[in-house]
Structure formats: C-alpha cells, structure tokens
Amino acid sequence: MYPSRFHYEAPRSLDEAFDVLRVYGDEAKILAGGQSLIPLIKLRFAAPAAIVDINNIPGLDYHEEDSDGSLNIGALCRHRTLERSPLLRSKNPTMAATAPLISDPMVRTRGTLVGSLCHADPQGDWASVMLALGGEIIAQSVRGERVIPVSQFVVGPFQNTLHPDEIAVRARVPAPRGTRSGTYLKLERRVGDFATVGLAVVLETSGGTIVRAGLALTGVGPNNIQCTAAEQSLAGKTLNTSTIEQAARLAAEAAQPRTDVRGSAEYKRHVVYTFVTRALSNSQARAA
C-alpha cells in the first residue's frame, strides 16, 4: 500500500543519471512511465534503494524514421503518442494495432514502449511486437553504446540483460525488406487486461512473395515466444490456404501455454492457431 523509503534523484541529463547509477549500482531502478514499476513498489514486491527518475532528461520523447528507413523510439516515448502516430499508421501497422491495446488510456499517458521492454513482463505486448519486427534496444552507459537484439534483451520473466550502469535510451526497428503489413491480435477477458493470448504478425513482401515474416506470441509461455519455425515456413512463399495452415500449426506448436484463470492450455493453443489463421488470411499481403 505504501512504498518503502527510497533515495530519489531526478537527473536532467544522461550523464547525471550515470553518476547516480555509479553510486547505487544494481540497487537503483530507472523510473520513466512507472506504470509497471510503481505498482510493484506499492505492493513491496520491489524495494529499490534508489529511484532514478529520467522524465526530466530532454531529447528522449521522440519516435521518428531514420533516413535508412529504420524507426527509432526514444525512452520517453509514451504509448499514447504511438497510439496517435500517423507515422506508425502508415509505416508500421503491427505497432499501430498494438498501441491502443496496451492497458487503458491513463496508463498509456505515462507508460513507455522502452520501459515495457525493460520490465520484461511475460505478458507484455510490445516485446512480441519487437521480436516479430527484429527490433533492438540501444543501451548507453559511461562506457558507450550497446545494441542488443530484443531476443537477447528479454531473457526471462522480468529479466533483461542491461548491466547495472546502463540505461536503455531507445528501441530501434530495422527498415523493412519489402512492403510491410501485419497486425496485433489480443484476446483479453476485459478491456485493459493482460493478454490471454496475443499475436504479433509482421509480413514484409515484395511482388506478393514474403521476403521476411515475423510471428511472436504473448501470454503463452515463460516469456514472449518468437515462432521461428512458422516464420521460416513463410519466407519465400506466397500466402495461400496451405501456407497459412502450416504457419498456424507451427505457431501453435511453438506455444507453451499453461492452464490458469484465463483458460486451459488447450484452449490457448487453439487461440494461437485461430489468430495466426485470421491474421494471415486478412493480411493485405494475401493475393486476392
């Protein structure tokens, strides 16, 4: 109910933030949106000795396309901004479909995509999206910059591979290798819930042929699951009943659902199969 005491710093630059991290090491937690961290602190599941509030550091609240076609999302870019982004709507339909499904409007005002990735909740939606997109986290420290593929960044429930002196300053989505289409489907018991099952689909096509496919699952494993076999089954192919069915089957096999309050394992696995079928069948990449 009441957080335990902590030392609080609100640095106005990354260098100031690094100074605090040098003093407190892994006893410090970075605070951006706080929509995952603060609830943990209130319930005393987390009790960091120091909180480093980065909300006053300028130059982190952007999301923009680079000249090479990659998309950079700064550490203070809020879900709310992504929800309303014309850039996402035109260039990244998977992310555009995900942003409005994150929690609720108030959480989206403060919460951040980068923070969501760092928190590494197995039921977090953005990690699936970033896996499907081949995304990366860029971490900074006094030692310089480090690029970490999301698949190597989130390594377990609530576990990321940041060093204690590092801050994740942005997420990066590489340029597409074709026309990008896709979506995010989320089954929830009620609006604002965590996913019973979530599916991120990214297709990059050229002339009707899939150059690159990304499929990742939320809520059906110890962490977000990248469906590598399903992705490989689609690469170089066109979408038809047969390739869709195979991808759906492989994705369902890759899921590791557990029976819980949200449903039985068999049910969730069936939802994965259904979602993949639905997402691919409705895809703009599908020949008429």
Partner 1 sequence: MEERRINVVVNGEPKSVDVEPRLLLVHFLREVLGMTGTHIGCDTTNCGVCTVLFDGLPVKSCTMFAVMADGHEVMTVEGLGLSSELHPIQEGFREEHGLQCGYCTPGMMMASKALLDENPNPTEEDIRWGLAGNLCRCTGYQNIVKAVLWAAEKMRSDAGVISR
Spatial distance between the Cα atoms of 83 and 90, rounded to a whole number of angstroms? 12
Asked whether 246 and 219 are in contact (CB, 8 A), the reply is no
- Residue (85 or 205) nearer to partner 1, CB: 85
13 binds partner 1 (CB under 8 A): no
The answer to whether residue 35 forms part of the interface with partner 1 (CB under 8 A) is yes
Among 11, 34, 115, 182, binds partner 1 (CB under 8 A): 34
| Among 109, 152, 159, 232, contact with partner 1 (rule: CB under 8 A) | 109
Judged by CB under 8 A, the residue of 69, 192, 222, 236 near partner 1 is 192
Q: Which residues contact 278 (CB under 8 A, 6 or more apart)?
A: 185
Return the structure tokens found at 172.
Answer: 């990066």
* Residue 42 makes contact with partner 1 by CB under 8 A: yes
Least distance in angstroms from the C-beta of 36 to partner 1 = 9
Nearer to partner 1, 106 or 235 (CB): 106
Is the distance from CB of 205 to CB of 179 less than 8 angstroms?
yes
Name the minimum Å distance from CB 42 to partner 1: 6
Q: 84 or 286, CB closer to partner 1?
A: 84
CA nearest to 173, candidates 246, 85, 252, 248: 85
d(CA 271, CA 263): 10
Kindly write out the interface string for residues 86-105 of this chain, putting x where it contacts partner 1 by CB under 8 A and - elsewhere: --------------x--xxx
- Nearest to partner 1 of 10, 211 (CB atom): 10
In this complex, which beta carbon is closest to partner 1, that of residue 59 or of residue 192? Answer: 192
Work out whether 278 is an interface residue with partner 1 (CB under 8 A): no
51 binds partner 1 (CB under 8 A): yes
Integer CA distances (angstroms), 260 to 216, 220, 265, 267, 268, in order = 21, 11, 8, 11, 10
DSSP strand E in the chain: where?
A: 7-9, 28-31, 50-53, 63-65, 71-74, 136-141, 144-149, 154-156, 159-160, 167-173, 179-187, 197-206, 209-218, 225-226
Phi, psi angles (nearest 5°) of residue 113: -65, -45
Q: Quick check: 5 binds partner 1 (CB under 8 A)?
A: yes
User: How many residues contact partner 1, by CB under 8 A?
Assistant: 31
Nearer to partner 1, 27 or 65 (CB): 27
For partner 1, the closer of residues 10 and 175 by Cβ is 10
Shortest distance in whole angstroms from residue 275 CB to partner 1: 21
- Provide the b/e sequence for 212-226 (b: ≥16 CB within 10 Å): bbbbbbbbbbebbbb
Residues that bind partner 1 (CB under 8 A): 1-8, 10, 31, 34-35, 38-39, 41-43, 51, 53, 55, 80, 100, 103-107, 109-110, 191-192
